[in-house]
Structure 1
Amino acid sequence: MTLETQKQAPPYRADHVGSLLRTDQIKQARLKKSTGEISGDELRVIENEEIKRIVEKQKEAGMQAVTDGEFRRAWWHFDFLENLDGVIGYDTDTGIQFHQKQTKSHTIKVTEKLDFTDHPMLRDYQFLHSIAGNHTAKMTIPSPSMLHFRGEIDRDVYPTDDAFFSDLAAAYKKAIHAFYKAGCRYLQMDDTAWAYLCSDEQRDQIRARGLDPDKLGEWYAKTINEAIADRPSDMKITMHICRGNFRSTWISSGGYEPVAEILFSGLNIDAFFLEYDTDRSGGFEPLRFVSRHDLNIVLGLITSKFGELEDRNVIKRRIEEASRFVSLNQLCLSPQCGFASTEEGNLLTEEQQWAKLRHTANIAEEVWG
């Protein structure tokens, strides 16, 4: 597959969500750093070498967009959020409950006014950008929704939601422009909150927290739109709607119908990465709310949770089904999520991971040419 025959702007016909299985070298180095056997600078040297290797593997697999695999992170969201000004991270008694499994105990809290100034992931992106070559360096960060959805808020600092969400949008606006200045033209925001709003079970749990699910969706949409309102015209911003991904387990079920209109008609982003690898995601009917011809839908029909390769004919039929609601020209293909939303990773091998990405690229070539 050549770059000339592919889509020239992100998201690409064959794309991926971003996180990759941590290599043995990364795992060992992070363990040594935690026990004091190596320094932070020594860890970074090892990370750099492993990121160079997996960037080349992504290119070999046929990906036009390359990421650093989130190799410098323990979590897909906390590492970014706790480095915002005004946010701290700390360990707790319990982790996030998935079906049959629970994550490590950690959370975040807003203790001062929010801002974005000197964030360490700017340096992380700059390194990725420097080795991407002719490919597009893709940066992944959690959506602003996640600070509210997963974090605690000191109400002495933010007594009202209006003030909190206003400062949150302003901080993210600064982040977007900082990444742009660093060279980023492809930014993805990852968000599990919208998938929770698709689930009757999770909506009940949200109500049990004293929150109104519908009001929450309105707040999140408004904040996201404010954050991206004046992004540069040559910067593509996408969103991955995640249903939970820890050690190949999941959290939420339910089709996109409850949030389809506000997502596809109300959010001013360039593309959605949607999880469609199991029947827990429902059908393609909610895509009827896609009214913009410049909005791309990346169909997550390839699972990142297990190593077996999907029947390519089944995948092509499902793409055809989706094209009844959205033009084929607006569709793309990817795994439904990353391969390692946390450093523990999903239950498949590295070779199976690369095979999944090659499978994605090969099917995309057959569908779009």
Structure 2
Amino acid sequence: MTTARKLQYHFDQVGSYLRPDALKTAREQYAKGEITQAALLQVQHAATKDLVDAQVAAGLSAVTDGEFNRSWWHLDFLGQLGGFEFYDQEASYKFHGEKTRSTNIRLTGPVHANLNHPFFDDFKYLQSIVPEGVEPKVTIPSPSLIINRDQRSDGWADYYPTWQAFLDDLAQAYHDTLQHFYDLGARYIQLDDTTWAYLIAQLNANADDPAARAPFEQTAQDDVYVINQALAGLPDDLKLSTHICRGNFKSTYLFEGGYEPVAKYLGQLNYDAFFLEYDNERSGDFGPLADIYNGRPNVEIVLGLFTSKSADLEAVDDVVARINEAAQYVPKAQLALSTQCGFSSTEEGNILTIPDQWRKLALIKTIADQELATV
């Protein structure tokens, strides 16, 4: 990492968007065997082109494919990483008021990059339709989603002599994946991560029991190690961000709690930008920002002050006050704005409409231009 700030977008986005009806229908038809993969891809590409045009019109400097190529924000990528497969785990995530589908992934062998991963072709298409002066942004899940999460690292001892050897291979698989995206032309990649919110919940639940906290603290240290190893030695003009999420399914959430229990770990991660949920009281106060920012002039803190779970528009005065409050812990010049999460982390989407999501982004741009563009 350098001391120069790479990301300077005062208005940015997490990445996922509500799927248009045509794409939803095509995916259902493909799942039933009613259309070919080529036919599905044609619909997906058309929807992605429309989305890119809409993002450009909204004033975004970096645009995504909306995650239109996947059903889940994380599993579609992880299940096609070398050494993993999909399976039905029967149990599902229990969000507040909702249960998800029961898909998961499991380890089947040594972990390695899959340079034939379909996400690479999806990026090539995105890159081909982005106009000059606008940057294509890649979003994939963090490797921490595999480390002691939902049985995904179970069975490591069948393929590795030590846990450390497993972690090293996982880091290398991600490093090689990120490098391949770069070789294809990507210069902005985001690693989405619910693990820190999971660890916040576990560390808070065991606050008075050091022995019970210890394994979660070790997992946090392992996460820092793997992520930083994955990022180490990548080209200097590659911008790398992370989005810390508390869960996002049909406008519900999975975890809650402020960042204080994990702030010291986040402050060690060698990302250029941190997208942080701050849309309601579940996210806690801004105090931990000082440790997350950790005095690093190259780091941007993207404040997720706007909910993607509701069409309700935030009050401008309230948002401005919160920006100024956050600036007590992070220089205002290092701040940016976005929604707290994507609009559709799974293909089901949140409970709002496509016009609602664009109104939300228009509000963010207006406030970002007003408060942060000239800082």
Change (3 A) 1:238 1:108: same
SS in structure 2 opposite 1:315? helix
- Show the counterpart of 1:360: 364
Q: Determine whether 1:338 maps to 2:336.
A: no
8 Å CA contact 1:139–1:186 kept in 2: the answer is: yes
2:182 is aligned, of 172, 175, 180, to 180
2:72 is aligned, of 60, 75, 82, to 75
- Show the counterpart of 2:220: 217
8 Å CA contact 1:98–1:249 kept in 2: the answer is: yes
SS in structure 2 opposite 1:121? helix
Q: How do residues 80-91 of structure 1 correspond to structure 2 at under 5 angstroms? A: 80-91=77-88
Q: How do residues 44-63 of structure 1 correspond to structure 2 at under 5 angstroms? A: 44-63=41-60
Cα distance in structure 2, aligned partners of 1:320 and 1:120: 42
Which shifted more, 54-63 or 136-145? 54-63
Change (3 A) 1:209 1:78: farther
Cα distance in structure 1, aligned partners of 2:185 and 2:240: 14
Cα distance in structure 1, aligned partners of 2:33 and 2:117: 24
Q: CA deviation at 1:28?
A: 0.3
Q: How do residues 1-369 of structure 1 correspond to structure 2 at under 5 angstroms? A: 10=7, 12-116=9-113, 117-133=115-131, 134-148=133-147, 149-150=149-150, 151-154=152-155, 155-158=157-160, 160-200=162-202, 212-264=215-267, 266-289=268-291, 290=293, 291-369=295-373
SS in structure 1 opposite 2:301? strand
Deviations 1:184-239 (A, max 9, x none): 0000000101111222577559x999971100000000000000001100000000
Counterpart code for 1:130: S
SS in structure 2 opposite 1:305? coil
Change (3 A) 1:270 1:203: farther
Cα distance in structure 2, aligned partners of 1:111 and 1:42: 31
- Count of aligned pairs between the two proteins: 360
Q: CA deviation at 1:97?
A: 1.1
8 Å CA contact 1:196–1:202 kept in 2: the answer is: no
Cα distance in structure 2, aligned partners of 1:130 and 1:203: 47
Change (3 A) 1:328 1:177: same
Counterpart code for 2:230: A
Q: CA deviation at 1:93?
A: 1.2
Counterpart code for 1:310: E
| TM-align CA RMSD | 1.9
Cα distance in structure 2, aligned partners of 1:361 and 1:169: 36
- Show the counterpart of 1:4: none
SS in structure 2 opposite 1:341? coil
Q: CA deviation at 1:287?
A: 1.2
8 Å CA contact 1:108–1:152 kept in 2: the answer is: no
- Show the counterpart of 1:3: none
Deviations 1:219-267 (A, max 9, x none): 0000000000011000000000000100010111111111111212x11
8 Å CA contact 1:307–1:356 kept in 2: the answer is: yes
SS in structure 2 opposite 1:212? helix
Cα distance in structure 2, aligned partners of 1:201 and 1:252: 12
8 Å CA contact 2:258–2:282 kept in 1: the answer is: yes
Cα distance in structure 1, aligned partners of 2:322 and 2:110: 46
8 Å CA contact 1:203–1:213 kept in 2: the answer is: no
8 Å CA contact 1:89–1:108 kept in 2: the answer is: yes
Calculate the TM-score normalised by the size of structure 1.
0.94
Deviations 1:44-100 (A, max 9, x none): 011000000011111111111100000010000000001111100111212111111
Change (3 A) 1:211 1:27: farther
Q: CA deviation at 1:158?
A: 3.2
Change (3 A) 1:210 1:319: closer
Deviations 1:298-330 (A, max 9, x none): 000000000011011111110010001100000
Cα distance in structure 2, aligned partners of 1:79 and 1:10: 27
8 Å CA contact 1:11–1:298 kept in 2: the answer is: no
SS in structure 1 opposite 2:96? coil
Give the gaps of 5 or more residues in structure 2.
none
Cα distance in structure 1, aligned partners of 2:161 and 2:356: 49
Which shifted more, 289-298 or 233-242? 289-298
8 Å CA contact 1:240–1:273 kept in 2: the answer is: yes
8 Å CA contact 2:244–2:274 kept in 1: the answer is: yes
Counterpart code for 1:52: K
Change (3 A) 1:141 1:274: same
Which shifted more, 246-255 or 154-163? 154-163
8 Å CA contact 1:139–1:188 kept in 2: the answer is: yes
Calculate the TM-score normalised by the size of structure 2.
0.92
Cα distance in structure 2, aligned partners of 1:220 and 1:296: 21
